[in-house]
Structure 1
């Protein structure tokens, strides 16, 4: 594992250094890497003096080993705690080189951090103890060796939360009322925390009470007496509970005695053996709730959130403005004013859950306050230490949540924050040799009026300087299912000017901006569709058009914890006080938290959260919208409509005429992900037949009657009950008739796309792409195959149209205008296709002053033929490579993500060149040589203006001047090769 001789040699070498940061840090680090089995720093792939951009300025961290560790060196004897913020800033801004671990070192000691897990060091390793503690730095080894840490708070927190949750579950399982069980469990939780943080008169105080109950004394009596003492302002002057201080905080204002069973006492005894001073409050509440069952958690849209993700909001929205003010303050008066203002600063989380965001804001503001005091003491000798009293209080923090348990946990979380912050402040006072223990952690702040149980969308929010949080993640499609039509109607009526198809979180963005004061800031997490379509219009468009400025954002990233969801993070300011300078916009790609980052420093962040030309304002073109050239495939709606090959064969043997109503049924995964791109199922499609005509296919009809009809009847009845309940409360409530429609036509597919199927009956092949995709892959499919809803279908059969749709121009428009699903792009006709301008071939009424007439002499047919030819050649090459290598289309296109020569890349470039030539035809030179989105947006504007003036534009499909040319049509496509 580790060479002890090399390690010993390193320790001996380090002891002889003077510990100068500038002159010896690189030598020290190189020897450290050698001690752990590497040939050296550079040989391992790490970099010294690595450049990191922070707010437009270049900084240098001592070492970065991408994906593994960032190391920042300080001189010997330096207090490493003072350099936490600097190292954290380097790590925050390293993005695509982001490391799992960060190490602060002063030549004598290593402090190891993992800020994806916790703020506190995972371990502190004196160099002299490296032989026995080397596993804490095992990530330095060239081979993979799992590190072992002595202070992993996450693991302790998970185990402790699970244990205390078991007590709650046990109480509920023996029919104790949930509210009573909840309060008793949380009171025990506070006692456990008090035990290990020195808030009880002596060590083992609570454990001894548990032990006495196990030995026969009454838990009904002893726990009740303890909790009453913790709620009493008058301390006991004698007896067992002498010295128990007043806790308050609201959690002990109601005490319900409970007699615990022997197994519950044993459980509590085991729970007390954890070191509760090591529990991480920022994640405890979420993990505790998770231990109570996932179903309830999903119903409220709550998700576990890591500290590093919370800091993406807390740092720019809550801390950075204060940090910059402190750094820029040069007089004692200025610093004292900042301290005074900090004590009045108010933070609100209107979807607070168990208080994670509020806890971290409280903790970090307290830490910032200490940095302020430190600057005062070090810079101004006239400052009087006795006047430096912490002014930040729990009562400055507000929260709202609909979940009562979450709110009670938030109160306890902030109480824990008060204790930990008091300890940190008192340590600070002792270091600077003024008043010892000037801040008392007890009593806890009573936050009953700060943390409210309610629906934030329907109450007035407390006034606050900043609003932060992680609102519920329900999409527009899930809201009806999760909340029912009555609630959805209430929300839409309350926010009538928000588009009805907006995601649920958009209402929080909207309300947050409305209630912010002038100069107020907000930082919220949203589904990554907040930057798209209706959600963008209802939220970010509204914010920017109402005096809001986005100062920092993450366009998309996978979110913490178990939820498979991609989010956007937006930090903005309301009013004219937005700071000058660049705005940072980041992207993280892939499904994993360690995926690659892309970072842009921009003068302005648009509502699309994109560094590219903002095309959110592109116009819908009536020519496209009315063309009938883009559809989603068929939605079967119930598995009863699907037949395996075997089931269909048996059906045909019994009922040969069933061949008229059963069809091969292709989905996107089959088209893209299988070697032969073949359907694996048939679909029963009776359209356009009414119930009488459908019933003539007796055996086929019976299959649907037996499988789909009961399910549709059940769904309809449930919908009817919800609608009746909604109308009972509000006769004008909008109701959902979704399942009623399916029930009325139960023998038909949910969405049979009759208009599309009619169009397909007149051609031999159609173009399709995956509705949700990572890559631009379009394909021709035989019309004997029915397209599933996972495909977007273009009923166009010519090679020119294929070339335009397969081009990079169309793909860039697709990416910029589409919605997304878990980080993948989702094609929609109304956002992508209906606004996408096709080549206009000189038909637009434009100024001819720069030589367009000469260019119009070129044959448009020949240019269009070049597009068709390049499209055919591309498909032929794809088919050849796939056949030779047994590739699926998806596997083939993944090769484009690799460096090096690739004939597929060359073929795409050839197609793109011909498509550009088609687009440039008849357009002025001023529109040439622009990026794809800038060009298409300008062309979209010209086309929209022409339509507004009553002029015709050229829409999707083969232009009329090409339709007599047979060369535009070929025959290759996916055909169904299976025979009965």
Structure 2
């Protein structure tokens, strides 16, 4: 939030000064970062952006749709200055720059500024800025007009939001049309009908786009539809599709004028013979509504592709693990994978202009174009084609920039063939998708993207270029990517980049087909890996003989946690691949209304030895911080390739200092042995027999939130007591019925003969340390507690023998929580405790009696601090925003002692330092157990 102090300090810094060339960037970044609070301003702002005419825009914010023409302090903003085009004022110059930008970069607001005065023009209301500015104020008046600037950068007015809103409206129009047509199929869910429905829908979408984009004569499609009533419309549509698929020279010479006016489209879009049902008034009305008053030319093919798939049901998406990637998240993959490098290469070419003659420089630009046109991309889980479409648009944007440099304001004559102005083609983009509707959408999205990119090229070249016929591209195929041969679509030796967003399906959602797929691709490891891992296995097998190719996928963060890391990243590393870049866990934001509530990582791989880039998120919704460590391992940590695998309870922990932890007891009773409410508890306690067997019962939620819950613990109950008590006998009978009717192979059925008992009895006979199965990802410390044996630990709690409090002290340290978050699994963003992976592998060395006692004493300090806040739950005490000062100090004292116990030479300044200590200790301790050390890393095994 902007404060008066920030505004005043900014005014004082810039009052009476400002030089256009030297200080424009500093001025606007100061304003955006320190006054408007835009922490990511440097990444969202372009300075000295080159236009097609060869000019340079002082400040361009593409997402905010904002352009600034900056002048030095003292320059009159009404005065004309000489330019190549003649004498122009600053606002006229800004308009000329805007006119020479592609549609995707055109501003909606322009500003002229001389450091001491700001003038804003709204091009949506006044496209040629002929009226007075909507805001005109001095630097000293900034505080009174700060709303003008905040509204310009409001996310609600951003280009992405505007494109999304437009595409959402288009999605609704298409969904209405799709649903109206689907209702007319005899069996719309039959494979053939479903495919025909998909193709028919995207054909109509392309026709709507074509008439607004000028590919068809103006309003030709809408007027053609309007000329038929519903009864005759089906035949009219069939005739239109046949015409669009026929070359002019092959058409009937007596073809009706209303059909003859349509061009030949090709591309295979209208070639297939599909099932077209009878049309109704709702279908006709939906078609006309979609074409009336809506500009299809302006939709984003990337966003619209996602929204088109909104016609799929929620269950279909969930079953297929489909979640759609936002443009922003697509760039988290493609930017570090290849786009940043291509941008840098073009910038270096542009900067070299003064170092070589004009012909050589233009030749270099031509070679750059050839390079762009040579790249081949594969998305083996392409969905609606978002990755392919966005990549195509960005490559064409780079190509258009290179074209503008080559032409430099000169005209161009398209000679065709190898001399064609445009060389990047949708034929470079290949996709595999199991859903036929998505395949149709992906193809159409690429065709629309191709047309929009040509529009931008026309603006640069200053003349019309051929848009039709479409490329007849068969590069998007319907297939199961884990079973088909990717080489048949794109030979591996021709592929440069594999990328995408494979399905998110965890173990619980596995079908028999998925299990077979994983066994086929991953072998024995397939049983322990998430479905997405299959794409990693296929990618490295596909690219095994192509040493320069690279790949990157969006995945659930589960592949970088717990027991999945060793089989997946061990397999990848053994085949010579290493992590070139990675985004650690962040919140997924999908573009569909069915927003996927998952947390993801992005990992990119290469066989080229270069320093990796690691993007870390202080908060899962925040902007990432970038670092370049020497190495990134499978846990996405700047650490060696150490794989921490399960260490069994029977063989003990890695550290001799720690006691074993065990699961609590699982009721498996359908709630019949549990007492959930105060009313139920009162009823139970009113029966003197029942009262003997009622115990407090705790799962993780009860432990952390200090909630009451009870159970019937009948492990020592006599048969006579259970028979006499109606309360007990009724509950036991209900539990018996549940277990007898359960699946014959399950644990419930196996325990049907003892329905008064929990499935298992892991209850300690003495005081124990209670550990929740999951910790909140926000908390800095674990939320453990000590319980007496009378409190029954459920299966969402682990128990640990801890007579003197040493294990409690270790577990309540920042060192433990750092280890837990690094190598433990997660439920969404919450770290999951594991006795075999997390606790049994905690690398705590042997301690002296003196140091061990110091750890215990510091742990007791934490208990004492908690006791000073009677009635507060652990959730209250460990909320990082409200953690009591005395409790935090107690933990900090504990951290100093535990840091030393793990071998830190001095108290760790942060958890990254602790992580380094932990992995160093782990390597040392496993080397003593397992020799020799692996050259690629260390594999932790059962001791």
The verdict on a shared fold, with TM-score over 0.5 as the criterion, is yes
Distance 1:158 1:147, change over 3 A: closer
1:185 equivalent to 2:201? Answer yes
2:665–2:758 CA contact under 8 A, matched in 1: yes
Find the residue that maps to 1:609 and give its secondary structure. Answer: coil
Give the corresponding residue for 2:836. Answer: 830
**In 1, Cα distance between equivalents of 2:411 and 2:265:** 38
Structure 1 position 512, deviation (Å): 1.0
Find the residue that maps to 1:508 and give its secondary structure. Answer: helix
Give the corresponding residue for 1:260. Answer: 279
Q: What is the RMSD of the two structures over their aligned residues, measured on CA atoms?
A: 4.4
**In 2, Cα distance between equivalents of 1:164 and 1:381:** 40
1:523 equivalent to 2:552? Answer yes
Give the corresponding residue for 2:914. Answer: 932
Find the residue that maps to 1:105 and give its secondary structure. Answer: strand
Within 5 Å, which residues of 2 pair with 1:811-830?
A: 811-830=817-836
Structure 1 position 217, deviation (Å): 6.6
**In 2, Cα distance between equivalents of 1:526 and 1:822:** 13
Distance 1:829 1:236, change over 3 A: farther
Alignment counterpart, residue 293 of structure 1, candidates 290, 293, 313: 313
Within 5 Å, which residues of 2 pair with 1:492-507?
A: 492-498=519-525, 500-507=527-534
Within 5 Å, which residues of 2 pair with 1:390-405?
A: 390-405=422-437
Structure 1 position 353, deviation (Å): 0.4
Structure 1 position 693, deviation (Å): 11
2:582–2:614 CA contact under 8 A, matched in 1: yes
Distance 1:940 1:181, change over 3 A: closer
2:633–2:639 CA contact under 8 A, matched in 1: no
**In 2, Cα distance between equivalents of 1:564 and 1:791:** 25
Structure 1 position 407, deviation (Å): 0.8
Find the residue that maps to 1:814 and give its secondary structure. Answer: helix
1:404–1:453 CA contact under 8 A, matched in 2: yes
**In 1, Cα distance between equivalents of 2:482 and 2:554:** 16
Within 5 Å, which residues of 2 pair with 1:477-492?
A: 477-480=507-510, 484-492=511-519
Q: Any gaps of 5 or more consecutive residues in structure 1?
A: 1-15, 31-40, 48-62, 92-99, 431-435, 718-736, 843-859, 950-980
Distance 1:76 1:665, change over 3 A: closer
1:451 equivalent to 2:476? Answer yes
Structure 1 position 198, deviation (Å): 0.9
Alignment counterpart, residue 886 of structure 2, candidates 869, 881, 903: 903
**In 1, Cα distance between equivalents of 2:757 and 2:266:** 59
Structure 1 position 788, deviation (Å): 3.3
1:250 equivalent to 2:273? Answer no
1:585–1:605 CA contact under 8 A, matched in 2: yes
Distance 1:630 1:887, change over 3 A: same
1:525–1:567 CA contact under 8 A, matched in 2: yes
Give the corresponding residue for 2:108. Answer: 123
Alignment counterpart, residue 387 of structure 2, candidates 350, 357, 371: 357
Find the residue that maps to 1:46 and give its secondary structure. Answer: helix
Find the residue that maps to 2:762 and give its secondary structure. Answer: helix
Distance 1:158 1:82, change over 3 A: farther
Deviates more, 1:284-293 or 1:826-835: 284-293
Distance 1:343 1:171, change over 3 A: same
Find the residue that maps to 2:258 and give its secondary structure. Answer: coil
Give the corresponding residue for 2:334. Answer: 314
2:46–2:60 CA contact under 8 A, matched in 1: no
**In 1, Cα distance between equivalents of 2:96 and 2:553:** 32
Within 5 Å, which residues of 2 pair with 1:412-811?
A: 412-430=444-462, 436-438=463-465, 440-447=466-473, 449-461=474-486, 462-463=490-491, 464-475=495-506, 477-480=507-510, 484-498=511-525, 500-516=527-543, 517-561=546-590, 562-573=595-606, 575-576=607-608, 578=609, 580=610, 582-590=611-619, 593=621, 595=622, 597-611=624-638, 615-616=642-643, 620=647, 622-624=651-653, 629-637=660-668, 638-646=670-678, 648-649=680-681, 652=684, 656-659=688-691, 662-672=694-704, 674=705, 677-679=706-708, 681-684=709-712, 699-700=727-728, 702-703=730-731, 705-706=733-734, 709-710=737-738, 713=741, 716=743, 740-746=746-752, 754=760, 756-757=762-763, 760-761=764-765, 763-774=766-777, 775=779, 776-777=781-782, 778-811=784-817
Deviations 1:480-518 (A, max 9, x none): 3xxx23541342243215352111111111211221221
Give the corresponding residue for 1:433. Answer: none
* TM-score, normalising length: structure 1: 0.74
**In 2, Cα distance between equivalents of 1:142 and 1:360:** 28
Structure 1 position 18, deviation (Å): 12
Deviations 1:909-955 (A, max 9, x none): 222233345556xx999x99994334344444444455569xxxxxx
Deviations 1:549-608 (A, max 9, x none): 3222101111122111111111222x34x4x4x4321122445x4x35333222222222
Distance 1:707 1:407, change over 3 A: farther
Structure 1 position 200, deviation (Å): 1.0
**In 1, Cα distance between equivalents of 2:203 and 2:54:** 34
1:552–1:571 CA contact under 8 A, matched in 2: yes
1:230–1:252 CA contact under 8 A, matched in 2: yes
Give the corresponding residue for 2:182. Answer: 172
Distance 1:501 1:687, change over 3 A: farther
Find the residue that maps to 1:773 and give its secondary structure. Answer: coil
Find the residue that maps to 2:374 and give its secondary structure. Answer: coil
**In 1, Cα distance between equivalents of 2:400 and 2:796:** 56
1:349–1:469 CA contact under 8 A, matched in 2: yes
**In 2, Cα distance between equivalents of 1:712 and 1:444:** 64
Structure 1 position 691, deviation (Å): 12
1:162 equivalent to 2:172? Answer yes
Structure 1 position 310, deviation (Å): 0.4
2:615–2:627 CA contact under 8 A, matched in 1: yes
Find the residue that maps to 2:260 and give its secondary structure. Answer: coil
Deviates more, 1:350-359 or 1:531-540: 531-540
Find the residue that maps to 1:623 and give its secondary structure. Answer: coil
Give the corresponding residue for 2:898. Answer: 915
Give the corresponding residue for 2:12. Answer: none
Distance 1:824 1:521, change over 3 A: same
Deviations 1:752-781 (A, max 9, x none): 574632xx12x1232324523222232212
Give the corresponding residue for 1:954. Answer: none
Distance 1:819 1:120, change over 3 A: farther
Q: Any gaps of 5 or more consecutive residues in structure 2?
A: 1-15, 71-90, 112-118, 127-133, 136-144, 189-193, 353-359, 932-943
Structure 1 position 408, deviation (Å): 0.9
**In 2, Cα distance between equivalents of 1:139 and 1:68:** 17
1:613–1:934 CA contact under 8 A, matched in 2: no
Give the corresponding residue for 1:22. Answer: 22
Give the corresponding residue for 1:240. Answer: 258
**In 2, Cα distance between equivalents of 1:166 and 1:750:** 56
Deviates more, 1:681-690 or 1:331-340: 681-690
Deviations 1:214-264 (A, max 9, x none): 5x6721122222111111123565521122112233331224443322122
Find the residue that maps to 1:832 and give its secondary structure. Answer: helix
**In 2, Cα distance between equivalents of 1:693 and 1:362:** 75
Deviations 1:309-357 (A, max 9, x none): 0011122223234334444556555544443343332111000001111
Within 5 Å, which residues of 2 pair with 1:33-48?
A: 46=34
Deviations 1:270-329 (A, max 9, x none): 221221112111021221222442111111111122101001112222323433444455
Give the corresponding residue for 2:86. Answer: none
Alignment length, in residue pairs? Answer: 821
* TM-score, normalising length: structure 2: 0.77
Give the corresponding residue for 1:66. Answer: 39
1:868 equivalent to 2:856? Answer yes
**In 2, Cα distance between equivalents of 1:765 and 1:18:** 69
Distance 1:67 1:315, change over 3 A: closer
